A = this chain, B = another copy of it.
Amino acid sequence: MCSGHQSPGLWRHPEDQSWRFNDISHWVELAKLLEDAKFHGIFVADVLGGYDVYRDSLNPAKISGAQWPVNEPLSVVSAMAAATESIGFGVTVSTTYEMPYHLARRLSTIDHLSKGRYAQAEEYVKVIYKLLESSWRDDAVKRDRETGVYTAPDLVREINHKGKFFQVPGPHICQPSPQRTPLLLQAGTSRAGKQFAAQHAEAVFLSAHAPAVCAKNIAELRQIAKDEFGRNPVNIKTLALVTPILGKTEEEAQQKLADYRQYASHEGALALFGGWTGIDLSKYGDDEELRHVESNAVKSTVEGYARFSPGTSKWTKHTIAEHVSIGGNGPILVGTPSQVADGLETWVEEADIDGFNFAYALFPQSFKDIVELLLPELRRRGLFWDDYAVPGGTYRENFYRIPGQTGPLNEHVASKYRWRVGVPAEQHSIPE
């Protein structure tokens, strides 16, 4: 919820409106645009502080507007939900600043308000599962006008969570919302991140400049999910970060990219790179070949980029900056709708990707280009749906294309926490 999210500096472009992110109509218009085009969902990523590794300073991010300033994204979901019916919403939530009891309430509230079209990645999930799934029975709210019973008292219980970090007696304070546990989206392919995702994630965001990098991570993730958590690996959907630059002709697309590059901020890109990698490239000279420097961390990181761009002979900090200054750590696909669609198909085949997380260069023009140029081509190829699987349904029903699948799949860990209709409390003890 900032300007030029993955493309620092492009707020300078005369057609860009990403700097309108403080304005509520900005988000409502985007939600309507993307729902009309039948997008599955909108994800508003978040970062809880500024990018200050590069130059050991926040200044490059301040000046270039690289994810600075940045608002709290859950706040805008209800406005988008009020203006739409079917599109899903996802945001980042940080457990650093949110207590689990309170976050569970915010999640339930938004899930009610968005009628189950809200999605969430979060960490301290066990307490959250207990609050969202185990504390109320599905049918606890009776609202029986004859007997005067709003909630059946025995169908709401304390969770009495006593853990290492949290003591949460409960009960949960909101009634069961459409999805109870919102759709769980995860990002991060560290060893710990994969282990977490293999158990909890329903969708995983990946970003890499080459399909082969994604393919390796996805294969490992799905293997762990199957071996350690008994999940069907195809039920973890993988979404790759991609920034399409579309033109009616190849020349037009290339001209657009050249135009955008004029505005892209290298300082901003190096600020973002510093935050992602912990590496401050301001320590190196303008012409210094980064694959030959002393630091192993720098060498191996830069070699990772170089391996998949064999046409680039020298890797300086400016090569890195140019590489990530539009579309962040994901690929730019430039060309006609047909060329970009070919590129997407390559990713699906080579990386075992289920879908895409489209970033923008210009807001909202990049999305309009996708809607007007790319989607018709994808539909011609039978690769994009004509309508939501369950119009007006929850995010999860549309995500799995299963009417009635409002909660996690039976094989998912959260499902074990669900206190279902008709089950006596003594037959459903809350899992640890």
- Chain A interfacial positions (CB closer than 8 Å to B): 1, 3, 9, 11-12, 14, 19, 22-25, 27-28, 48-50, 57-59, 62-65, 68-72, 74-79, 81-83, 94, 96-99, 101-102, 105-106, 108-110, 112-115, 141, 143, 145, 148-153, 156, 171, 173-175, 177, 265
Contacts and interface: CB of A to CB of B under 8 A. Distances in A.
Contacts of A105: 71-72
17 contacts: A1-B109, A3-B150, A23-B113, A50-B171, A63-B152, A63-B153, A65-B143, A69-B141, A69-B151, A71-B105, A71-B108, A71-B109, A72-B105, A75-B110, A82-B83, A97-B99, A98-B102
Contacts of A1: 109
Contact of A175 (B22, B50, B82): B22
A1 B110 CA distance: 12
A109 B113 CA distance: 18
B113 A22 contact: yes
A111 to B, nearest CB: 9
A109 B177 contact: no
Contact of A9 (B19, B25, B68, B148): B148
A88 to B, nearest CB: 15
Contact of A101 (B14, B74, B97): B97
A13 B140 CA distance: 20
- Among A11, A82, A99, A114, the most chain B Cβ lie within 10 Å of the Cβ of A82
Contact of A63 (B57, B64, B151, B174): B151
